[in-house]
Amino acid sequence: MEYPFLAVGEFEGSSYEDVVENIHSQWGWDAPEGALDGFRILVAYDMQESYEGAGWFLLIRESDGQLFEVHGSHCSCMGFEGQFSPEETSLDYVFSSRFYLPYTYGDDDDLKTKVIQFVARLGLEDGPVTVPDPQVN
């Protein structure tokens, strides 16, 4: 079974395992395999265009339901190295008019709608929550 997650942009159609492998290989995260233990990826976004790229992830810490986001970008001379740094966020933010997906280059509204609808279907609440059981995407 796969964890419930939404893969958009270049990640569309990717498995959960493919996204985790991408984090380890492309983001230069020098943590060992299993470094995401305790977190679940809810949303994964990746964009590659010409010589630049960007990524955004929404994570949930399984122990207490706290949401985190990760975002980064690269140019032709540098990669994602050292940018995988989870920052606390909230459902209030995701559902607010201030929420945006960085580096979406005009696809922002469609992608935002997909993300918001997906997160809403999970039935999460701010504060400690029960993480949904793994299920098919």
| Residue position matching structure tokens 């945006």 | 100
**How far is residue 21 from each of residues 11, 36, 42, 121, measured CA to CA in Å?**
12, 11, 15, 26
Confidence category of residue 82, pLDDT binned at 50, 70, 90: low
* Residues 41/16, Cβ–Cβ less than 8 Å: yes
**How far is residue 116 from each of residues 31, 98, 99, 122, 128, measured CA to CA in Å?**
30, 12, 10, 10, 19
Q: Model-level pTM?
A: 0.78
Give the pLDDT of residue 23. 80
Predicted confidence (pLDDT) per residue in 2-56, tens digit? 458 899 888 899 998 898 888 877 776 554 455 577 888 999 988 877 777 778 8
- In 3-state terms, what secondary structure has residue 80? coil
Give the pLDDT of residue 46. 84
Predicted confidence (pLDDT) per residue in 90-122, tens digit? 999 998 888 877 766 656 678 888 888 999 988
Give the pLDDT of residue 127. 47
| Residue position matching structure tokens 């990760």 | 70
Give dist(CA 67, CA 61) in Å, integer. 6
Give the pLDDT of residue 105. 62
Q: Which residue has the higher pLDDT, 16 or 85?
A: 16
